[in-house]
Chains A and B, each alone.
Chain A
C-alpha cells in the first residue's frame, strides 16, 4: 500500500515547534523585515558617537571595538551609579508576570522575548552575573549569564524592537519602567557603535541642520508657503506666516514630519489657519525646525543636546514662550526630562494665552505649551467659530499617542477639541485607550520601511481596536496627536483595517474653523467634497 503522509506530517520538519533550547541559549535570527538598517558612519562621526564604521546586523562580524566587554561593563557600572531608578529596576523585579502580555509587540508577534519582563531579563541576566553576589556564585541558577557577542546581538534585536511606549509600566506593581531599561540598553549599544540608521540620520540632521531630514531654511520656508497656497485655494483666505522673526511673542515648534509627510501636512494647514484666525503673534523657526528628538532614542546626552536647540532659538528670537505642535515624544522629553536637563528656562515667561488670558501653570518651568491644550482653552472661552458639520463626512476615533497619554496624562483635552469640531466621535474600547493605549508599533525611531513586517506585528493590537469601532460605528478616520503616528498609522490601517484614514486633531479643527473673509467651503483640507457638496463644481480648487 502506498505510504500517504498525514496532513500534519507534511509540515513537520519545518519550523513547527519552538526551539528546544532555553531563552538564554537561543540566539536571534535576523530575518528580513524584522531588523532595521545600521547607522551610517558619517552620521555617527558628525555627532561624535563611538565606533563609526560600515556594518550590517546580518554580518557575522559586527566590528565591535577590541575591548567591547570592558566598555559594556564600565557603561553598565556608570549607569547603575548614575540612575538609582535603573539599579532598582535591575534588582526589584519579582517576575510576577503582570507585564507579560501587555506589550503590543508580544501580543502581535507571540515572541516571548517581547514580554517586557523577559526583554528586561536580557540585560538583567548580564547585570546579575557581574554585579550581584548570587549571580557570581550561582550563575544560571540565579538567572545570570555571561556577556557574549550573541547576547549583544540579542540586545540589538530586542531593544530596537521595544518602542519605549511604557504600556507595561502601567501594570507593574512595583512601577518598573521597562522603557527606561530599553533606553539604557540602547545607550549601552551605542557605546559599541550599535545603532540604527533611522535614528542616527535624524539625530545627525537635527544637530547639523535643525530637523530630521536636513531640510535647509529656504526649503523649509518654501514648504510652509506651499501650504499657504493650498489654504487659500480651499478657503480664499491668504495667510502670511513669519520666519525667524525676532520679538514675536511665541515661537511655534512642531515635528518636521508635519511639513513634509502626508497626512501630517493637513494638520499643519490647520495650525496655520488657527493662528491666523486668532491673530497670534508667533513665528516659525527654520533652525529649531524640529519638535521630534531622536536623541531620546540614542542617549540622555544626545537628547539633552537636541532639546537645547529649541531653547537656544527661543532665547535668540527673544520670544516669551514656546507653543508646541502635535508631537509624541517631544512632549515626553519636555514633560519628563527637559526641566532637569536644560531647565528651568528662566529667560522665558510663564506662558499666558494672549487670547484668553489663561495661565498655563503646568508649563511654569518648561515654558512650553501643548497646542491641543491651547486650542481646548480657546474653545472653552468661546473664541473660535466652529462649524462641526464640515466634518460630517467623517466618523472619527482617537488614538491616544503613547507619550502625551502616558507621559503627560493628556486624555481629556484632545477629546474635548474633537467633540467640538466634529459630530461623530466614537472612542475605542477602554482597555485600548487613555493610559492603556496601544502603541502604533513604530515609535521610538522604528518607523522605517525595511521594518514593515515587524511594524505590522507591533501595531496589531491598536489596529484590532480600530477595526472594532470601524465595524460597530463605521469609523473611517483615526485621529491622533503625534507625527510618527500620522506617518505610520496609514500603512497599518491599509493592512489591517482598509477604509480607515488618519488625521491630526488640528486638521479637523482647520476643517471646522469658520474664518473671517472665507468663501463658501466645498471641500475639506484634503480637497474631499464636504457632505452635501458632492456635486458642486470643484474644478477651480
Chain B
C-alpha cells in the first residue's frame, strides 16, 4: 500500500496513539483530565495539541510544506516550550511518529497492507523535515519569552524616568530636505 493511502486509512488509530503519547508526558492525574475534557476553553492544552496534531497529520499525508505545517507545529510547541519540559522532550512528539507508523504497518495482517522500505524512508524524511521546523519554532518561542522579559524591564525603567522628567533626551528631528 502506498504511503498516502496507508496514512489516510490509519489516520484515526495513529492520531489516537500519537495524542496519548504526548499527553502521557504529563503526570497521570493531569493526563486523565487533558484526555477527557473536550471543551476547548476548559482544556486548552489537550484541545490545542489535538488540533495541531490533526493539522500536522494532513501535512504528513502530503509533503511537508513549511508554510502550512508551521502554524500547526507552533500550536503544540508554543505550549510545551513554556512548560516543565527539556527542549528534547518538548519536541519529542515529532520523532515518535516514526515508531507509531512502523508499528501500525507491522500490525497489518495482509502483507499488501504494509508499508515498503521505500515508503518508510520517505516517511522518515518527512518527519526529519518536521523535526527541523520544530527546532526552529521551539527556539523562537524561548527567544520570545526572554525578549518579553527584557522589554518589561526596559520599558519600566525608561518610561518611569521619562515621565518623572528626569531625562534630558535629544528631541526627534525632522530629516532636513
B153 at the interface (CB under 8 A from A): yes
Chain A interface size, under 10 / 10 to 19 / 20 to 34 / 35 or more: 35 or more
Partner of B25, one of A6, A16, A495: A16
Partner of B37, one of A101, A464, A491: A101
B109 at the interface (CB under 8 A from A): no
Q: Mark B94-120, 1 if CB is under 8 A from A, else 0.
A: 011111000000000000000000000
Check A112 against B164 for contact (C-beta < 8 Å): no
What's the least CB distance linking B86 to chain A, in Å? 5
Partner of A14, one of B88, B96, B97: B88
Given contacts A14-B88, A262-B159, A429-B41, contact A112 B82 (CB under 8 A): no
B135 at the interface (CB under 8 A from A): no
Check B41 against A112 for contact (C-beta < 8 Å): no
Alpha-carbon separation in the docked complex, A8 to B25 (Å): 12
Check A112 against B30 for contact (C-beta < 8 Å): yes
Alpha-carbon separation in the docked complex, A307 to B144 (Å): 38
B67 at the interface (CB under 8 A from A): no
Q: How many A-B residue pairs have CB under 8 A?
A: 133
In A1-25, the 8 Å CB interface with B consists of 6-8, 10-11, 14-18
Q: Which of A141-149, A199-207, A215-223, A320-328 contacts B (4 or more CB under 8 A)?
A: A215-223
Q: Mark B4-27, 1 if CB is under 8 A from A, else 0.
A: 000000000000000001000111
Given contacts A112-B27, A222-B165, A494-B148, contact A468 B82 (CB under 8 A): no
B152 at the interface (CB under 8 A from A): yes
In A156-177, the 8 Å CB interface with B consists of none
Return chain A residues, CB-CB under 8 Å to B160. Answer: 213, 260
Alpha-carbon separation in the docked complex, A260 to B83 (Å): 32
Name A's B-contacting residues (CB within 8 A): 6-8, 10-11, 14-18, 31, 33-34, 100-101, 106-112, 115, 213, 215, 219, 222-223, 226, 259-262, 265, 429, 431-432, 449-450, 452-453, 456-457, 460-461, 464-465, 468, 491, 494-496
Alpha-carbon separation in the docked complex, A461 to B48 (Å): 11
Given contacts A110-B26, A223-B164, A491-B151, contact A464 B44 (CB under 8 A): yes
5 contacts between A and B (CB under 8 A): A100-B33, A109-B84, A110-B30, A456-B82, A465-B41
B79 at the interface (CB under 8 A from A): yes
Alpha-carbon separation in the docked complex, A261 to B95 (Å): 44
What's the least CB distance linking A26 to chain B, in Å? 10
Check A226 against B82 for contact (C-beta < 8 Å): no
Return chain B residues, CB-CB under 8 Å to A491. Answer: 148, 151-152
Return chain B residues, CB-CB under 8 Å to A6. Answer: 98-99
What's the least CB distance linking B142 to chain A, in Å? 9
* CB nearest to B24 among chain A residues: A17
* CB nearest to B44 among chain A residues: A464
Tally of chain B residues near chain A (CB < 8 A): 50
Check A11 against B92 for contact (C-beta < 8 Å): yes
What's the least CB distance linking B23 to chain A, in Å? 9
Select the residue from B148, B159, B163 with max chain A CB neighbours within 10 A: B163
Partner of A449, one of B96, B144, B152: B152
Alpha-carbon separation in the docked complex, A265 to B164 (Å): 13
Q: Mark B51-89, 1 if CB is under 8 A from A, else 0.
A: 000000000000000000000000000110011111011
Alpha-carbon separation in the docked complex, A449 to B153 (Å): 7
What's the least CB distance linking B174 to chain A, in Å? 8
Alpha-carbon separation in the docked complex, A17 to B28 (Å): 9
B29 at the interface (CB under 8 A from A): yes
Given contacts A10-B95, A15-B85, contact A110 B45 (CB under 8 A): yes
Check B92 against A449 for contact (C-beta < 8 Å): no
Q: Mark B132-171, 1 if CB is under 8 A from A, else 0.
A: 0000000001001110110111011001100111100000
Check B42 against A431 for contact (C-beta < 8 Å): yes
What's the least CB distance linking A356 to chain B, in Å? 33
What's the least CB distance linking B124 to chain A, in Å? 9
Partner of A18, one of B28, B99, B144: B28
Check A110 against B83 for contact (C-beta < 8 Å): yes
Return chain B residues, CB-CB under 8 Å to A31. Answer: 84
Return chain A residues, CB-CB under 8 Å to B78. Answer: 495-496
What's the least CB distance linking A299 to chain B, in Å? 27
Alpha-carbon separation in the docked complex, A453 to B153 (Å): 15
Alpha-carbon separation in the docked complex, A453 to B80 (Å): 11
* CB nearest to A108 among chain B residues: B45
Alpha-carbon separation in the docked complex, A11 to B151 (Å): 34
Alpha-carbon separation in the docked complex, A288 to B76 (Å): 46
